[in-house]
Copies of this chain bind each other. A is one copy, B any other.
Amino acid sequence: MKPSPELLNDVLDEVRPLIGQGRVASYIPALEEVPADKLGVAVCYNDGDIITAGDADEPFSIQSISKVLSLTLALQNYGPLEIWDRVGKEPSGQAFNSMIQLEMEHGIPRNPFINAGALVVCDLLQSRLSAPRQRMLEFVRDLSANPHIYYDKTVAKSEMDHSDRNAAIAYLMRSFGNFSNEVMPVLQTYFHYCALRMSCVDLAKAFNYLANKGLSLGAEKTIVSHTQSKQVNALLATCGLYDGAGEFAYRVGMPGKSGVGGGIVAVVPGEMSIAVWSPELDPSGNSLAGTAALELLAERIGRSIF
């Protein structure tokens, strides 16, 4: 049985009191200015049904959620060894932007969802796509069936103005021979991907391929193979929430990916994709009320991969 909009509204109402207990990302002004009380959820069933509540149609900065999309583009353009020789598949057990582990492991990032790993993936795309930014835009517009998705140039520029640590990460990987292109253009691509503005509805639609054996919403296109969709879900389950993946699996029980814009996408394989949005973050950098909403929703609809 599918949840009613009322059930989704109830879930949002129950978690709304958490707003005020987290902190909106503040490292760039464009994120800091987002109202802390935004709260939205969208559920996209594999049959195309979409149920929403709250601010589900309002676009926000998807940030690290884009790391799944860039990995997916890489899976479409590279063989598995070309990717997995350069980035691992293991949880990092460290803060998302730590360089310590990267140095100890000789420039091979732990997984594609920490910054270092996503930068390697962008380096791959930079090498093989003629216009990696335009390609991504076409890709997400197509997945979400929304031609109005765009890059927030203010966010991208602001990220670039605060890019020293990511530049350090990229140069460190270059020093180990695990970065092929000039650093700055890849950072530009990476920050544009992070600066995609999408709504919960856009995201739930876009990620439905992970719930539906790799097929796009409506099953018209194969985005990745069924095996690959399971593999991406496995990576999300173990590495998708920074250093809070274990807690998320324990509480929510779904593969997911968060961004510091406050969005989280989650997947119930074979059934549905879900997106939530609440800008305040917990200490691990994941949406505080968003995680609580997913936990509650999972319980109410009786879904868990475990």
Chain A residues at the B interface, C-beta cutoff of 8 Å:
88-94, 98-101, 103-104, 110-111, 164-165, 167-172, 174-175, 183, 229-231, 233-235, 237-239, 243-247, 249-250, 253, 255, 269, 304-306
Contacts and interface: CB of A to CB of B under 8 A. Distances in A.
A169 B91 CA distance: 22
24 contacts: A90-B91, A90-B243, A90-B245, A91-B92, A91-B246, A93-B94, A93-B110, A99-B103, A165-B175, A168-B170, A168-B174, A229-B306, A230-B304, A234-B246, A234-B249, A234-B253, A235-B249, A235-B250, A237-B237, A237-B305, A238-B245, A238-B246, A239-B246, A269-B306
B91 A100 contact: no
Contacts of A229: 306
A255 B175 CA distance: 32
A91 B238 contact: yes
Contacts of A174: 164, 168
Contacts of A306: 229-231, 233-234, 237, 255, 269, 305
A104 B93 CA distance: 12
By secondary structure, the A interface counts as: helix
Contacts of A247: 89-90
A58 to B, nearest CB: 30
A294 to B, nearest CB: 13
Contact of A250 (B98, B101, B110, B234): B234
Nearest to A227: B299
A90 B246 contact: yes
The oligomer's copy count stands at 4
A111 B246 contact: yes
A121 to B, nearest CB: 16
Contact of A305 (B92, B110, B167, B269): B269
A258 to B, nearest CB: 15
A64 to B, nearest CB: 17
A210 to B, nearest CB: 9
Between A168, A233, A305, the greatest number of chain B beta carbons within 10 A of the residue's beta carbon is seen for A168
Contact of A238 (B98, B111, B183, B237): B237
A11 B136 CA distance: 41
